[in-house]
Amino acid sequence: MMAAAHDESGTFSHLHGLDKAPRELSAVDQNPHFITAVARVGEKNEVIAQQDIYAENGIKLLAKGARINEGTHLRLIAHRLELPLDMVLSVANSVDEVSMVRDIERIISTDATLRNITMRSGDPQGYRSILGTLNISAPILFRLTVMRDDRNDLYLHSLRTSVIAHSMGVRIGLSYEALQNLFLASICHDFGEMHTDPAILSKGRAIQGSERHFIHVHPITGYVILSKIENMAPEVLQGVLQHHERLDGSGYPSALNEEKICMEARIIAVAETVETIARRSRKRQIRIAIRLNTGRLDSRYLSVADELLQTREEIDPALDPEIEVAGKLTRLTTVLSEWPTLQEKIRIHQKSTALEFIGKRIQSIQKLALQAGISTDLLKCLDLAGDDAAVLPELNVALIEIDRSIDELVFEVERRITHLSDCAPIVEQIKKIFQVPVSSSPSI
C-alpha cells in the first residue's frame, strides 16, 4: 500500500512540512483494499459508475452505468485510475448530513459518557447546526458511506470523535468557521485507514514489524484524498495530516513537536484518545488516562476534556473480566530493568547523538509509571487474583498507555535508525528487550 509514502529505511523525513500532496502519492485509489471495500458495499448497496471509468493510460475499464461489485472490481485493481473512485461513483442510500445527525443522536441516546460531554459543552446539539451548514462534498459523503457499510466500527468512531472534538471547540469558544473546520477534519481523520489491509487491524492481532508502516501512513493517505477536493480548507487538511503527531515528537508521520502541530490536530488527538478509551473504560479510568497523556497531548485541551467528563454519576465498581495486566507489567519491568545497560551502550556509541531520542522516550515511560505508582517490583507485591483485584481497572488503564508508548518507541527506532548499519546491534537489542510478548487483551 502506497509504498512511496516511506523509503526502504521506513523514514518519513521527506514529508516534514508537507504542504501539497506529492506526485507519487496521487493515485491513492489504486489501493486494492479500498477498491475491495467498495466492491463489498456494491454487493448489498448499489454502487454505480456515473461516467465512463478510464485507466491512466486511456484504457476504458467500465462504462457509465456499470455496477461495481465483486464481479467487476478486479478490473479496477489491475490499473492505475485516471480519476479517483469517489469522483466517478455514486452509491444508493448514501450518508448525508441528515443521516449523520440521526446516527449521532442514536449514539448519544445510548452512551451516557458522550451525552454528558455534549451537555457540559454549552451547546448540546450544536453538531446539528454544523452539519446543516457544512455542505459536505459528494466525494466525502461517498467515502463515509463506504466506511459506514463496510467498516461500521470506524464510521462510529469518526462520529463519536467529531462530537467530542466539537464539544471541546464549543467549550473553548472557537468561532463558527473554526468549529466547521474542526468537525469536518474530525469526521474525515481516519479516511486513510480504509486503505489499510483490514487483516492488519483485526481485533486482538499483534502488529508485526514492517506492518507498522502501513498503520502510520494513514494520515498521509487521508491528507492526499482530501487535497484533491476543491476548496478544502487548509485547517482541515492539516488537522487530518497531523492528528497522530504528539507534542514530545513521538508521533507520526513527521515527528512534529510543540508549536508545529496545528490546533485542529491537537484537539482531534485528545478527542480521539477520549473516544477510544471511553469505549472500554468507566469515567474514572478515562480521566486517569487523560492525566497520563500530559506531555504528549496538549494540556489545555486535556483539561477541557477532563472538565467535560466531570459528573456526579456513580461509578460501576464491577470489574472487566477481560482485564489482564501481568503481561503488560512483565514487559514494563523488562524494559525498565534492562534500560541502564542499554543506556551505557548508547552513551559510548559513535552515533550517540542520533540515539538521544531513545533516552527521552524512556524518561517519558518512566514518568508514566511513576504517575501511576508502578514500580519494577510491583508484580511481586500484587495479589492480582485476590485482595488486590480491585486496583486492576485503574492499573490496566495506566499499563495500556505505557504499552502504547513502548510500541511507539520501537517504531520510532525502526523509523529513525534502522537504516544506520553501525546501529544494527543496538536496534536488535531494543527490539529484543522492548518486544516482550504481552497479553492478547484488545488494545485501545
Judge whether 319 lies within some domain.
no
The pLDDT tens digits for 356-369 are 888 888 888 888 78
Average pLDDT, integer, range 304-316: 69
Question: 502541530: which residue's cell?
Answer: 261
Residues 245, 170 share a domain: yes
The pLDDT of residue 213 is: 77
Of 257, 261, 290, the C-alpha closest to 276 is 290
Cis peptide before 32 (omega within 30 of 0): no
Residue-averaged pLDDT of the chain: 82
At residue 202, the pLDDT reads 73
Q: Please tell me whether residues 126 and 250 are part of one structural domain.
A: yes
Residue 83 domain flag: yes
Pick 43 or 200 by higher pLDDT: 43
Instruction: Judge whether residue 11 has pLDDT over 60.
Output: no
The yes-or-no verdict on residue 14 having pLDDT over 90 is no
Rounded to 10 degrees, what is the CA torsion of 153, 159, 164, 170?
A: 180
Do 170 and 189 fall within a single domain?
Answer: yes
Instruction: Say if residue 331 is in the same domain as residue 266.
Output: no
Q: How many domains does the chain have?
A: 3
Domain encompassing residue 374:
326-434
- Partners of residue 67 on adjacent β-strands: 48
Name which of 13-22, 253-262, 336-345 the model is least confident about.
Answer: 13-22
- Per-residue pLDDT band for 10 (boundaries 50, 70, 90) equals very low
Residue 225 sits in the same domain as residue 289:
yes
Pick from 6, 433, 354: nearest CA to 214: 6
Tell me, yes or no, whether 118 and 73 share the same domain: no
Q: Answer whether residue 214 is part of any domain.
A: yes
Give yes or no for residue 313 having a pLDDT over 70: no
Distance from C-alpha of 195 to C-alpha of 55, rounded to nearest angstrom:
19
Specify whether 76 is located in the same domain as 110. no
* Domain shared by 159 and 290, yes or no: yes
Cell of 389: 483485584
> Do 363 and 241 sit in the same domain of this protein?
no
74-96 tens-digit pLDDT: 899 988 889 889 999 999 999 99
Residue 340 sits in the same domain as residue 235:
no
Could you tell me if 43 and 170 lie in one domain? Answer: no
| Last residue of one domain, picked from the residues 259, 283, 309 | 309
